[in-house]
Amino acid sequence: MHNCDAIRQSVIEIIAEQALVDPSEVTADKSLADLGLDSLGLVECIFGIEEAFDIAIPFNANTPDMSGIDISSVGSIIAEVEKLIARQAA
């Protein structure tokens, strides 16, 4: 069972690693574009998160705007990951 703080920290670390920034710069209100991540960086973040939490994220790199998750900000990504983990644990 993952707790929310651990999930949040892990997601932030994965995004920071891909963006080549310090985790302290990855705040909930920032978008991945704000952090300098392009579409490839986004895909790498998604893969990293899936691997870290052993979850499947409903994301299509070809049509990211039509994905089944909200990737508009770091905070929304964390919330989506928490939902996916809770759904998997149920």
Q: In this predicted model, what pLDDT tens digit does every residue of 24-59 receive, in sequence order?
A: 999 999 999 999 999 899 999 999 999 999 999 887
Instruction: Report pLDDT digits (tens) over 15-26.
Output: 999 999 999 999
Question: Do 14 and 49 form a contact (C-beta atoms < 8 A)?
Answer: yes
Please report, for the chain, the start and end positions of each structural domain, with discontinuous segments joined by +: 4-89
What does pTM read for this prediction? 0.88
Give the CATH H-level superfamily of domain 4-89.
ACP-like (1.10.1200.10)
More confident residue, 33 or 63: 33
pLDDT given for residue 52 in this prediction: 96
- For residue 41, the tally of other CB atoms under 10 A from its CB is 17
